[in-house]
């Protein structure tokens, strides 16, 4: 069984992931409302919304990067198990643990670089979008946070890469 600190860490991380997943849902609603308003304005009032593309673009950043960790929690990412399923369960588990670890290391580096890019878009001058002048740095920090949350979930998956024996979740896919 898993140790207490690992379970507590997993519960805490999942709580944070639930919160950012709700934020991703709000971003999806914003995208839908903006697009509907833009279509209505363009074809009914003949005056489209200014900056629709920018609002949708930054909302997509929030949607995608805040939903990635939840997708990992649900094990809904695309996975190719053609190699792992030919190994005995223990060897497959070790191989998956190594792959989760390498993926997490890559994502931590990606998140770190996104954070550095966010800081560099603040200094010496704040970088903004062209039409609405939306600062880009907060969305780079959103990207960094989303990627780091995904990498932390993958690090926790290193300790239990396969569902326990008798768990039918793996066979349902």
Q: Tell me how far apart the alpha carbons of residues 8 and 6 are, in angstroms, rounded to a whole number.
A: 5
The mean predicted confidence, pLDDT, of the chain is: 88
pLDDT tens digits for range 141-173? 999 999 999 999 999 988 876 666 655 544 444
Q: Tell me how far apart the alpha carbons of residues 30 and 38 are, in angstroms, rounded to a whole number.
A: 12
Nearest to 112 by CA among 143, 137, 139, 81: 143
How many Å from the N-terminal Cα to the C-terminal Cα in the chain?
A: 24
Give the pLDDT band of residue 5 (cuts 50, 70, 90): confident
Q: Residues 110, 87: contact at Cβ < 8 Å? A: no
Q: Tell me how far apart the alpha carbons of residues 130 and 126 are, in angstroms, rounded to a whole number.
A: 12
What is the pLDDT, as a whole number, of residue 144?
96
pLDDT tens digits for range 76-119? 877 767 777 888 888 888 888 898 999 999 999 999 999 999 99
- Specify the DSSP class assigned to residue 124: S
Residue 157 CB neighbours (<10 A): 21
What is the pLDDT, as a whole number, of residue 107?
95
Q: Higher-confidence residue: 63 or 171? A: 63
Domain boundaries, the chain: 4-172
């Amino acid at each position: 069984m898993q140790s207490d600190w690992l379970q507590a860490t997993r519960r805490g991380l999942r709580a944070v992931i639930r919160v950012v997943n709700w934020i991703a849902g709000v971003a999806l609603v914003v995208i839908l409302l903006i697009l509907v308003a833009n279509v209505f304005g363009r074809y009914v009032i003949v005056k489209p919304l200014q900056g629709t593309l920018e609002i949708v673009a930054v909302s997509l950043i929030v949607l995608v990067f805040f939903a990635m960790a939840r997708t990992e929690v649900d094990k809904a990412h695309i996975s190719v198990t053609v190699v792992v399923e030919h190994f005995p369960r223990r060897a497959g588990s070790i191989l998956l643990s190594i792959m989760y670890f390498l993926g997490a290391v890559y994502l931590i580096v990606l998140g770190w670089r996104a954070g550095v890019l966010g800081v560099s878009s603040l200094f010496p001058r704040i970088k903004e979008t062209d039409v609405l002048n939306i600062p880009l740095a907060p969305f780079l920090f959103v990207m960094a946070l989303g990627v780091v949350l995904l990498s932390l979930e993958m690090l926790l998956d290193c300790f239990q890469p396969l569902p326990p024996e008798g768990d039918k979740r793996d066979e349902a896919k």
